[in-house]
Amino acid sequence: MLWETVRLALTAIRRNVLRSFLTVLGVVIGVAAVIAMVTVGQGSSQQVASSVESLGTNVLIVRPGTQIMGPGSRNSAPPFKLADVTALGDLPALEAVAPVVTTSETAVFGNMNRMTSVTGTTAAYLDIGGWELARGRRFTSVEDRTGANVCIIGETVRTALFGATDPTGEKIRLKAISCEVIGLLVAKGAGSFGQDQDDIVIMPVRTVQRRLLGSQDVSTIMMQVAPGVSSDRAIGDIQALLRERRRISLGEDDNFAVMDMKELATMLNSVNAVLTGLLSSVAAVSLLVGGIGIMNIMLVSVTERTREIGIRLAVGAEARQVLMQFLVEAVVLSVLGGVIGIALGLGLAYVAAQFMAIPFTPGLGTILLAFGFSAAVGMVFGFFPARAAARLDPIEALHHQ
Amino acid sequence: MTGPLIELKGITRHYGSGEALVRALDGVDLAIGKGEFVAIMGPSGSGKSTAMNIIGCLDRPTGGSYRFNGVEVGTLDQDQRAILRRHFLGFVFQGFNLLPRTTALENVELPLIYKGQPRAERRARAMDALARVGLQGREHHSPAELSGGQQQRVAIARALASEPMVILADEPTGNLDTKRSVEIMELLVRLNRDAGLTIVMVTHEEDMAAFASRLVVFTDGRVVRDEAVGERVG
């Protein structure tokens, strides 16, 4: 009997395909939006997680100013110098310390060129950042110290300048300097914010400071906590050392900030979760609107089919059978909308994932939830019109025009 | 069970109240036996349609007793009356009342769906009923593709399909020309005579009433005439 009713509902829906489609459009959009939001949200959390993993464990970064991200007073805070890096390197709580200065420069080889990001640092940066070399070698300590004209390039830069050929031993030009490519990094892919991590040229810090920036400042210091030391203890040691070096008196606030990368990832993820939740609930509102659309059209349908209802009652349909007929029709309608919405949402999420360079991770749970939700919408909003149909008086219904 | 199939005793049906009280039926006594073909006539507003609705269990009387096949049915609730209609009553209306955009076969199957019959059996019975009204080969036509007389035949087939004890026909020829009307009446007479089906028919045409074996005339909510009539040979 239920299957019979479902078939009847499908017949009624087919009879007016355009109207049925427009009726469920709200549900389609609502479900598609929820699915797309949640899938993209999950993808970007996964992205954050994997990029934190690729950083290596227990990485801390310190920057002048009071905040790592967002509006800070970095400009008013004195910058770090290489001497600070050396001093931090003496802390037993830290395994490795690397200065980081960055700039953007056009790298030229032959008639090829690419605007890329240039990072000035030391060999320790490769360990802290979890970078591996596909070819060539790292900077030697002499090259680090003297600021030699050597560089290690990322996969994106290599492809742009050299294609598939081996770049090591070749010389590329950055501004006025000509530097020898001594290494090629293993590709890492996109970072937490969708940036291309392989679009990079790494040079000794002194080379970048002198030849490209003309400044002795160090904008960021990256550190790796020694094994067996908690990051809290390491942060405490770093803060004590830097406060002393920067002559911050007791009771005064730090003019630098130490950030645990794990913490940053957690923070990013929670921001991500809040955003996903917020956008999904906005999308869920359109599901509600879609439900009202279904209720509206079902009421119209009950009025239009009053005579049909009268006939059914006359030949012996019970009120609950008429109720079921219209309820099933509403549920079938909204479930169809849900299915279209799921397909559309997954498609959107897939395109977005490609565009944002994040993994495409469709969740079965999300899909089932959306399916169930659309069925529930049909049930809730179909009930009132169905009850209106079931309560019709057979005599009046039969004489309805 | 002996005694009449349909037995109305002191049936009243009132609409409204106070000043606006309308006594559509004002004490109707009527007994119809198994196998009878009764024509109900009367001017409009005489209560004949109200009486039909009560006999057809579509409506409930305000007062009095209505026994169908010996069982008091005047007090049944809506769903109980639906089940009664499903098993014992078949309806034929003036306006045919077929489902539009639905084939003749599916229209005839409709009451059988509510009787819970399996698909194959339903189909076979519906085909059989259509054959009985002379519509073999038209099973897959929709009402719009059939003439008025054919549509009324589909409606009669639908009433027959559930093998009812009574067929209630409310102005079955009201929308048809004389030739089609006579064909429909001849069909009803045949069903009455050959299958022993009890038929109660409301009509305002004397010619059509003449096909019945008994004539009941309503005026002002009461039965004012009740007599046997000569049956015209179909």
Average pLDDT over residues B74-86: 91
Residues from chain B contacting residue A319 (CB–CB below 8 Å): 78-79, 82
Domain, as residue range, for A367: 2-50+266-398
- Partner A contacted by B60 (CB < 8 A): no
In a domain, A101, yes or no: yes
pLDDT in tens, B93-144: 999 999 998 999 999 999 999 998 999 999 999 999 999 999 999 999 999 9
- Partner A contacted by B124 (CB < 8 A): no
Q: Which H or E element spans position A328?
A: helix A319-356
- Partner B contacted by A308 (CB < 8 A): yes
**Strand positions, DSSP E, A56-93:** 59-64
Does residue A297 share a domain with residue A198? no
C-alpha–C-alpha distance, residues A41 and A273, integer Å: 7
The pLDDT-based confidence of A55 (bands split at 50, 70, 90) is low
Q: For the packed helices B104-114 and A306-314, what is the interaxial angle rounded to 10 degrees?
A: 60
Cβ–Cβ pairs < 8 A, chains A and B: 56
Structural domains present in chain B:
6-228 (3.40.50.300)
Instruction: Report how many domains make up chain A.
Output: 2
C-alpha–C-alpha distance, residues B30 and B49, integer Å: 14
Does residue A330 share a domain with residue A275? yes
Looking at A214, A229, A254, the residue that finishes a domain is: A254
Residues from chain A contacting residue B91 (CB–CB below 8 Å): 314-315
What pLDDT is stored for residue B129 in this prediction? 95
CA distance A368 to chain B (A): 33
Share of chain A above pLDDT 70, in %: 94
pLDDT in tens, B8-17: 999 999 998 8
C-alpha–C-alpha distance, residues A36 and A30, integer Å: 10
pLDDT in tens, B145-182: 999 999 999 999 999 999 999 999 999 999 999 999 99
Does residue A22 share a domain with residue A113? no
Edge-to-edge order in the sheet of strand B198-202: B89-93, B166-170, B198-202, B37-41, B214-219, B222-228
Looking at A226, A254, A282, the residue that finishes a domain is: A254
Does residue A89 share a domain with residue A20? no
C-alpha Rg value of chain B to the nearest Å: 17
Tell me the C-alpha to C-alpha distance, in Å, between residue B3 and each of A54, B33, B69, B174, B223.
Answer: 94, 7, 8, 32, 20
Looking at A254, A275, A300, the residue that finishes a domain is: A254
- Partner A contacted by B53 (CB < 8 A): yes
Sorted by sequence, the CB contacts under 8 Å of residue A137 that are 6+ apart come out as A182, A183
Average pLDDT over residues B71-88: 92
Interface test with A, best of B91, B94, B160, B165 (most A CBs within 10 A): B91
Does residue A213 share a domain with residue A277? no
The pLDDT-based confidence of A191 (bands split at 50, 70, 90) is low
Higher pLDDT among residues B233 and A145, named by residue: A145
The pLDDT-based confidence of A327 (bands split at 50, 70, 90) is very high
- Partner A contacted by B162 (CB < 8 A): yes
In a domain, A55, yes or no: no
Residue B141 token pair: 């036509």
pLDDT in tens, B171-225: 999 999 999 999 999 999 999 999 899 999 999 999 999 999 999 999 999 999 9
What pLDDT is stored for residue A267 in this prediction? 80
Q: In chain A, whose CA is at the least distance from the CA of B98? A: A311
| pLDDT at residue A73 tops 50 | no
Higher pLDDT among residues A47 and A111, named by residue: A111
- Partner A contacted by B97 (CB < 8 A): yes
Residues from chain B contacting residue A312 (CB–CB below 8 Å): 110, 114
Q: Which DSSP state fits B98?
A: P
